[in-house]
Homo-oligomer: A and B are copies of this chain.
Amino acid sequence: MRLQNVTVHIPLGVIVSDSLPTGRTPSIRDVARLAGVSHQTVSRVLNSHPSIRESTRLRVQQVIDELQYRPSSAARALVKGQSRTIGVLSALSAEYGPASSIAAIQDAAREAGYFVNTANLSRGEPSSIQAAVDHLMYQSVEGIVVIAPQVRVIEAIEKLAIAVPYVTLQSTSGEGKHVLSVDQIAGARVATRHLIDLGHRNIYHLAGPQDWIEAEARMRGFLEEMGANDVPTTAPILGDWTADFGYYAGRELLRVRDFTAIFSSNDQMALGLMHAIRDAGLDIPRDVSIVGFDDIPEAAHFWPPLTTVRQDFAELGRRCVALLLANITGSLNEASSSPLIPELVVRSSTAAPAW
């Protein structure tokens, strides 16, 4: 017994000094040699297999620490045939909403032991969608979160018949497999109803880009609520989500000035609107009431503080990951499919019309 230990030990000494050529990162076999076990035992330690003697685990772990050994995720991915990576396809990723969701997605994914790879959809070129998806597929992601819910993108994705599960945002509560819903329609209806309740009858809607699903849903919610209350309305104006556009739209709108309230499809455009309205010498909310959508952190400090509809982007991101992972592992539980309901936050940009 003792003799055996000695014979084992001497080769070990030799191995220590020359088994690790400088520069090469240690592999599982290097660890095995130094710990005097087989590579499989090391693998078992790494994966916390139950049948490992505590003393063995300790010895192996010590060598791992000494060598600063890290298992190669490439090798692991290769043999397991899975990358433990999910992809995020996003547009407008500098905006508060998407950015918050992406951050939450990353946190949730990391917690579940997944990596996140992101591809941006730069300036909706038609080929860019294909390129972005290719980029993600090339990394062999196991699933994709589409955070750029434009009709065009969704269609392209469906057409591509991607080999992996994906999750996207939708207004209506769809089939529930690919679709994560925030009830944008309900949010828009609450906002619109708020204006109607205050007594407004001439209400405009500044919508988002036509092919954004969220924009379309909010527009629909607006029209539905107006219809339900028998309030006539004009065609919504189609914007591009930016404050700049809101300002521009506001200036155009003010040339007619037959309205007492505007419901903007997001907070940034609402900000631009308010800018234009003030520029025209009008007062908010006395002359015009404004409602936004999203409740970005700055909205409470706009002038006046903006009445808006709050969305829980972080929760959305978390749910995206939950739903996607359920899709990936095949364990699709229904719990996560209840749509998120946005909530109206009343501040000072809305009031009863003065006339």
A170 / chain B contacts, CB cutoff of 8 Å: none
Decide: A244 and B93 in contact? CB cutoff 8 A: no
A118 and B120 contact, Cβ closer than 8 Å, known pairs A138-B73, A301-B247: no
CA distance A228 to B93 in the complex (A): 41
Within 8 A of B (CB), among A283-321: 297-298, 300-303, 305, 313
Q: Cβ of B303 and Cβ of A275 under 8 Å apart?
A: yes
A110→B93 contact, CB < 8 A:
no
Q: How many copies does the complex hold?
A: 2
| Distance of A303 Cα from B298 Cα, bound (Å) | 13
In the assembled complex, how far is the CB of residue A121 from the closest CB belonging to chain B, in whole angstroms? 10
CA–CA, A68 to B163, complex, Å?
10
Interface size on A, residues (CB 8 A): 54
A3 interface contact, C-beta 8 A: no
| A117 cross-chain contacts in B, Cβ below 8 A | 115-117
Output the least CB separation between A133 and chain B (Å).
Answer: 11
Q: Is A52 an interface residue (CB 8 A)?
A: no
* Contact between chains at A271 and B243 (CB < 8 Å): no
**A–B complex contacts, Cβ < 8 Å, 8 sampled:** A70-B137, A74-B83, A74-B140, A94-B100, A116-B117, A243-B298, A247-B301, A303-B303
